[in-house]
Amino acid sequence: MAEENALLKEFTEKEYEYGWSIDIEADQLPKGLNEDIVRAISAKKNEPEWLTEWRLKAFRYWLTMEEPTWAHVKYPKIDFQDIIYYSAPKKKPEIGSLDEVDEELLATFEKLGISLEEQKRLLNVAGSNVAVDAVFDSVSVKTTFQETLREKGIIFCSFSEAVQNHPELVKKYLGSVVPYTDNYYATLNSAVFSDGSFCYIPKGVRCPMELSTYFRINAMNTGQFERTLVIADEDSYVSYLEGCTAPQRDENQLHAAVVELVALKGSEIKYSTVQNWFPGDKNGKGGIYNFVTKRGICAGDYAKISWTQVETGSAITWKYPSCILKGDNTIGEFYSVAVTNNYQQADTGTKMLHLGKNTKSTVISKGISAGKSNNSYRGLVRIGKNATNARNFSQCDSLLLSDTCGAHTFPYIECGNKTAKVEHEATTSKVGEDQIFYCNQRGLDTEQAIGLIVNGYCKEVLNKLPMEFAVEAQKLLSVSLEGSVG
Amino acid sequence: MSLLSIKNLKARVEEKDILKGFNLEVNPGEVHAIMGPNGSGKSTLASVLAGNENYEVTDGEVTFDGKDLLDMDPEVRAREGLFLAFQYPVEIPGVSNVNFMKSAVAEVRKHRGLEPLEAKDFLKFMKEKQQLVELSGNLAGRSVNEGFSGGEKKRNEIFQMAMLEPKLAILDETDSGLDIDALRIVANGVNKLKSKDNAFVVITHYQRLLDYIVPDFVHVLYNGRIVRSGTKELALELEEKGYDWIKDEVAAEA
């Protein structure tokens, strides 16, 4: 036990590996938020009038809102006037070959361990299929594999480009799943979002590769407000992955993103996240506030949306990827691993809103808490009165690695139809000393043992990740827990 | 030089003295059986040798292959070639046997200055060893001990032993809970792994296992000490007369 404690203490002292920042000349707007800033962002991006107006409506609405306090997290009040709402690398590389990308930027991605080079190499050599859009601070810098995608009629580009080149799609779907009035942070995002990714899969097309976005906050005092919109037209399929890191800074940084997914009749969207924002140091100083709104709608019959997330970073995570199961026979899934260590706080879960008949949802949530962290699952399953034969299965497991951490579960169930079946299971366990000793006796040190046990515990969720990222996620788990990784 | 040398070993758990001056010498190529009534300290001995932290060593010394065993972390003891077949093998949900053994074998090989086996060679090696204890083909993909029957768990221990090729294997009541077929499979496995270079310490309550794994020496552990040593005939005598006569003799001597 003494050794275990020492090791767990070591976990707590684990430093963030992605905590570097680099000097890339940035084009920034001044700190603070007012209508002029909102207009300036819109102007920088050369946006059409309707979008500027939409932002302003959101901003005015935001002024009337209160910051929510219901989440099981604690943090000092955010000064929204102390944030830079727009920061872009000055040298903006053109879309094209990798050679055209700023070298320092490429070096950044190499440090991230997921270099564009490597992605490209993987594509050629191993037949692995990953297209990447990288959002650096506020602006999307690079989208690879445009041509391969274009042949299929797939649109995968930065949000700004989509606004310029496909305004009709953006206008039709922007805010259709997460309206600008939705919640405090989503509304703020609607006013000031700077970029993000846009994806459209045409009817009947199966996207031949994983689409991937990498987010990174680099500049100081910058908020990142990206907006992602994925539309899967009838009978199409897409698998989408986002990854995130941020430099290590003493002050907290805000990340308030919005992700909207629209799945039309018979289509499927698989959305995976590996989130590793800077969690703050071992004393709880610094770190990212990750206040994100993610929601998908299965708009047509037989559509399916599945969210898979591995959350190891951020000082505070506050997010509930949700599914609106509007069409009949639609399916929503949520698979989550959330790791908290040191002073991290996570309040995360999902909402499954069953509106259509024969709708089905599955929720598998695995929380792992270490150090002095707090890890909460908050979920809502709502069965509407017309959702005949709706079914839900939820399983929420918590694994504790220390005596000083907390795990909480807040499941809400609202059932408006008698034919519905809703099941909820929950467990809480500690990593067993006997398990660790058993591994030790087979030659594995305690760190390896915990890595192995934790990975085994999360297997159901990790199995849902695309192959390329499952390995990365396993590594990340090891790293965030093992003082070296797991 | 003996492979394992235990001198005056004293150990306690939860403030209670269990081993009270235990001595044993084991040479390569030997099989030692340790028998004794319940509560005599058999399992404590296994736990202490494997390095379980819940047991506190208060006196004595143990050398293993010339090195101070008590000074090593449990994983180092394992890598040095000490294997414990657990009386109650532990379940590790979600961790496949193949993954578990790959990590374990790699660590042991690293310790011996060897590269990890290529995936193909590893799987072949694993198949071979599986057959030794007649574990079915889908073992690799199943989680470690999860959903295994009692017999399967014990066979899995012997399988792991075969994979790790230890110098010294301690079998802690491996026969408990086994039916006669499983017992024979386990014993066959052990007999096939026996060589002039390795040694076994077989801890058991019953003589039954020793029909299959024939010991060179039999020791009777009682009240934390070895009170009788002999050959396999001693085991037969115990089977016949029970442990009470030993207790009486020990009491008379004291």
Parse chain A into domains and list their residue ranges.
2-481
The verdict on a CB contact (< 8 Å) between A432 and B90 is: yes
Average pLDDT over chain B, rounded to whole?
91
Smallest Cα–Cα separation from A262: which of A185, A171, A324?
Answer: A324
Q: Which of B101, B109, B114, B144 would you mutate first to test chain A, the one with the most A CBs within 10 A?
A: B144
Are B239 and B57 a contacting pair, CB within 8 Å? no
CA distance B105 to B79: 9
Q: What residues in chain B have their Cβ under 8 A from chain A's Cβ atoms?
A: 50-54, 73-75, 77-79, 83-84, 86, 89-95, 99-100, 103-104, 107-108, 111, 143, 160, 164
Tokens read off for A33: 């938020």
> What is the DSSP annotation of B18-42?
EEEEEEEEE-TT-EEEEE--TTSSH
- Minimum distance, in Å, between the CA of residue B163 and any CA atom of chain A: 10
Nearest-by-Cβ selection for B78 from A1, A440, A458: A440
pLDDT digits (tens, 9 = 90+) for A165-211: 999 999 999 999 999 999 999 999 999 988 788 999 999 999 987 78
Tokens 């003493």 sit on residue = A250
- Minimum distance, in Å, between the CA of residue B156 and any CA atom of chain A: 13
Nearest-by-Cβ selection for B93 from A2, A433, A456: A456
Smallest Cα–Cα separation from A448: which of B104, B130, B47, B245?
Answer: B104
CA distances for A448 relative to A479, A482, B75, B252, angstroms: 11, 8, 11, 51
- Minimum distance, in Å, between the CA of residue B245 and any CA atom of chain A: 36
**Radius of gyration, CA atoms only, chain A:** 22
Which residues have C-beta within 8 Å of that of residue A97, sequence separation ≥ 6? none
Total length of chain A? 486
Smallest Cα–Cα separation from A320: which of A287, A344, A295, A345?
Answer: A295
Smallest Cα–Cα separation from B200: which of B83, B73, B88, B63?
Answer: B83
The verdict on a CB contact (< 8 Å) between A443 and B95 is: no
pLDDT digits (tens, 9 = 90+) for B93-109: 889 999 899 999 999 99
pLDDT at B169 exceeding the cut of 90: yes
Helical segments of chain B, H only: 42-50, 74-80, 97-111, 119-132, 150-164, 180-193, 232-241, 244-253
Tokens read off for A70: 């219901």
Q: Which residues of B touch A437 (CB under 8 A)?
A: 50, 52-53, 74, 90
Taking every pair of Cα atoms in chain B, the longest distance, rounded to a whole number of angstroms, is: 62
pLDDT digits (tens, 9 = 90+) for B198-246: 999 999 988 888 989 999 999 999 999 999 999 989 888 888 888 888 8
Tokens 């515990």 sit on residue = A457
Burial level of A64, CB count in 10 A (0-12/13-18/19+)? exposed
CA distance B72 to B62: 11
> What is the DSSP annotation of A221-232?
TB-B-EEEEEEE
A197 in B contact zone (CB under 8 Å): no
Q: Which residues of B touch A439 (CB under 8 A)?
A: 92, 100, 104
Tokens read off for B49: 């040798």
Angle in degrees, 0-180, between the axes of helices B150-164 and B97-111, rounded to the nearest 10: 30
Which chain B residue lies closest to A431 (C-alpha atoms)? B92
Tokens read off for A166: 């496909």
Which residues have C-beta within 8 Å of that of residue A37, sequence separation ≥ 6? A29, A30, A85, A86, A192
What is the pLDDT, as a whole number, of residue A222?
58
CA distances for A209 relative to A17, A128, A412, A464, angstroms: 29, 8, 36, 16
- Going by the DSSP 8-state scheme, the letter that residue B209 receives in this structure is G
> What is the DSSP annotation of B94-130?
EEEHHHHHHHHHHHHHHHTT-PPPPHHHHHHHHHHHH
A–B interface: beta-carbon pairs under 8 A? 80
- Minimum distance, in Å, between the CA of residue B145 and any CA atom of chain A: 11
- Minimum distance, in Å, between the CA of residue A468 and any CA atom of chain B: 18
Task: Report which secondary-structure segment, H or E, holds A49.
Answer: helix A49-63
Mean pLDDT for B23-42 is 93
Q: Which of A364, A437, A441, A445 would you mutate first to test chain B, the one with the most B CBs within 10 A?
A: A441
CA distance A237 to A231: 10
- Minimum distance, in Å, between the CA of residue B43 and any CA atom of chain A: 15
The verdict on a CB contact (< 8 Å) between B74 and A453 is: no
Q: Which residues of chain A have pLDDT under 70?
A: 1-27, 88-146, 214-223, 244-252, 277, 283-284, 468-469, 471-472, 475-476, 478-486
A485 in B contact zone (CB under 8 Å): no
Which chain B residue lies closest to A445 (C-alpha atoms)? B75
Smallest Cα–Cα separation from B48: which of B156, B165, B166, B172?
Answer: B172
Cα dihedral angle (A97, A102, A107, A113), rounded to 10 degrees? Answer: -50
pTM, two decimal places? 0.76
- Going by the DSSP 8-state scheme, the letter that residue A17 receives in this structure is T
pLDDT digits (tens, 9 = 90+) for B116-138: 888 889 989 999 999 888 887 78
Helical segments of A84-166, H only: 103-111, 116-125, 146-151, 159-165
Mean pLDDT for B156-168 is 95
What is the pLDDT, as a whole number, of residue A332?
96
A25 in B contact zone (CB under 8 Å): no
